[in-house]
Homo-oligomer: A and B are copies of this chain.
């Protein structure tokens, strides 16, 4: 039952640093689809095309692996936000919003960020998640120059997007009133784009 979702062919003998990055990518997809506790290191390993013990050895523990995944995700997000800064000031929030939804194309990225916000009670992971959120907030305030209210609304909208994606409301668009209304209200001119990037309620992602 070796699915090999990310890499069709296992690539033997890779430099450890590259292998780490490849595993992080696979782990982001799996953690994003099945939550932190719900994900097994074996699933991550098979998605990355390596053995389960090797994943553990490269990262130490499942917890440390997840911490690396979160840190990478928040860094990636800030990266994408930064690329959306240049241009007229009025369109900045919109460009950054688009940058956020475009991250949907990187499998698991948004779900991982969303899930991390529910783990503040975990001693280790919680600290990292708060730091990630704090980085985002400071970027929005200092680098993007958002006012307090702009920042609040922007982040709140992002959290609503997380909810829409996490609930897979996209699958009900057109069939169910609430889902249709929420999606229309959130993505006035990008509903189909978003819909094409979110998987159906059936598991894979």
Contact = CB atoms under 8 A, between A and B. Distances in A.
A126 B203 CA distance: 10
Contacts of A134: 176-179
Interface residues of A, number: 57
A166 interface: yes
A63 B133 CA distance: 31
Interface of A: 33-38, 111, 114-115, 117-123, 126-127, 129-130, 133-134, 137-138, 141, 148-149, 151-153, 155-157, 159-160, 162-163, 165-169, 172, 176-179, 181-182, 184-186, 199, 201-203, 205
A126 B201 contact: yes
A126 B199 CA distance: 13
Contacts of A163: 117, 133, 155, 159
